Chain A
Amino acid sequence: MNYIEHVGKYFMMLGQVFKAPQKFRVFWEAFLRELEELGLKSIGIIGFISFFIGGVIALQTALNISDPLIPKMLIGFATKRSIILEFAPTFCSIILAGKVGSYITSSIGTMRVTEQIDALEIMGVNSLNHLILPKIFATIFFYPFLVILGMFLGIFGGWVAGKATGMFYEADYVMGIQYDFNEYLIIYALIKTIVFAFIIATVPSYHGYYVKGGSLEVGKASTQSVVWTIVIIVVANYFLTQMLLT
Chain B
Amino acid sequence: MIQVNDIHKSFGEAQVLKGISTSFEAGQTSLIIGQSGAGKTVFLKSLLGLHTPEEGTIIYNGQMNTEMTIEDRRDFRKELGMVFQGSALFDSLNVEENVMFPLKMFTQQSKEEMLERVNFVLKRVNLENSNAKFPAELSGGMQKRVAIARAIVMNPKYLFCDEPNSGLDPSTSILIDNLIKEITEEYQIITVINTHDMNSVMEIGDKIVFLKNGVKAWEGSSKEIFKTDNKAVVDFVYSSNLFKKVRQAYLNDL
Say which residue of A23, A118, A126 sits within 8 Å of B88 (CB atoms): A118
CB distance from A13 to the nearest CB of B (A): 14
A116 touches B78 (CB 8 A): no
A119 CA to B86 CA, complexed, in Å: 11
- CB within 8 A of B105: which of A111, A115, A121, A123? A123
- Chain B residue, CB-CB nearest to A33: B92
User: Which partner residue on chain A sits nearest B48 by CB separation?
Assistant: A122
The answer to the question of A241 belonging to the interface, with a C-beta cut-off of 8 Å to chain B, is no
CB-defined contacts of B18 to chain A, threshold 8 Å: none
Bound: A123/B50 CA distance, A: 12
**Nearest-CB distance from A123 to chain B (Å)?**
5
Number of interface residues of B (CB under 8 A): 21
**Does A215 reach chain B (CB closer than 8 Å)?**
no
In the complex, which residues of chain B have a beta carbon less than 8 angstroms from the beta carbon of A119?
Answer: 82, 84, 88, 90
B253 lies within 8 A of chain A by Cβ: no
Chain B, residue nearest A130 (CB):
B105
Check if A122 sits within 8 Å of B90, measured CB to CB.
no
Quick check: B74 and A26 within 8 Å, CB to CB?
no
Q: For the complex, is B80 an interface residue (Cβ under 8 Å from A)? A: yes
A2 to chain B, nearest CB (A): 18
Chain B residues, CB < 8 A from A102: none
* A116 in complex: contacting residue of B48, B74, B77, B91, CB < 8 Å: B91
The CA-CA distance from A122 to B80 in the complex, in Å, is 8
- A110-B91, A115-B86, A119-B88 as given contacts; A23 in contact with B50, CB under 8 Å: no
A122 and B88 CA atoms in complex are apart in Å by 11
Residues of chain B within 8 A (CB-CB) of A126 are 74
Identify whether the interface residues of A are mostly helix, strand, loop, or mixed. Answer: helix
Bitwise, A8-25 to B at CB < 8 A (1) or not (0) is: 000000000000001101
A60 CB-CB contact with B under 8 Å: no
Q: Give complex CA distance A161, B227 in Å.
A: 88
Q: Is the CB of A115 within 8 A of B91?
A: no
Is there a chain A Cβ closer than 8 Å to B102's Cβ? Answer: yes
> Would you call A125 an interface residue if the criterion is a C-beta within 8 Å of the partner chain's C-beta atoms?
yes
Q: Taking the complex as formed, is B106 at the interface, i.e. its CB lies under 8 A from any CB of chain A?
A: yes
Would you call A22 and B91 a contact (CB within 8 A)? no
Bound Cα distance from A25 to B108, whole angstroms: 10
Q: Using CB atoms, name the residue of chain A closest to B160.
A: A122
The answer to whether residues A116 and B90 also contact, given A124-B75, A124-B77 and a CB cut-off of 8 A, is yes
Q: Are B105 and A23 in contact (CB under 8 A)?
A: yes
**Docked CA distance A126–B106 (Å):** 12
Query: B154: shortest Cβ distance to chain A, in Å?
Result: 8
**Which residues on B sit within 8 Å (CB–CB) of A116?**
88-91
Contacts of A118 in B (CB 8 A): 50, 82, 84, 88
Pairwise interchain contact B90-A121, C-beta atoms closer than 8 A? no
CB distance from B30 to the nearest CB of A (A): 18
Once A23-B105, A122-B82 are accepted as A-B contacts, the answer to whether A114 and B88 lie under 8 Å apart by CB is yes
Contact B77 A121 (CB under 8 A): yes
Q: Is B104 close to A, CB under 8 A? A: yes
A110 to B77 alpha-carbon distance, docked (Å): 23
Give chain A residues whose Cβ lies under 8 Å from the Cβ of B105.
22-23, 26, 123-125
Complex CA gap A59/B106 in Å reads 58
- Chain B's closest residue to A23 (CB) is B105
Are A115 and B106 in contact, CB atoms less than 8 angstroms apart?
no
8 contacts between A and B (CB under 8 A): A110-B91, A115-B88, A116-B91, A118-B82, A122-B77, A124-B77, A125-B74, A126-B74
Beyond A116-B88, A123-B106, A126-B74, list 13 extra A-B contacts (CB 8 Å).
A23-B104, A23-B106, A111-B90, A111-B91, A118-B50, A118-B88, A121-B77, A122-B50, A123-B77, A124-B74, A124-B78, A124-B106, A125-B105
What are the nearest 7 A-B pairs in CB distance?
A124-B77, A115-B88, A119-B88, A124-B78, A124-B74, A122-B82, A115-B84
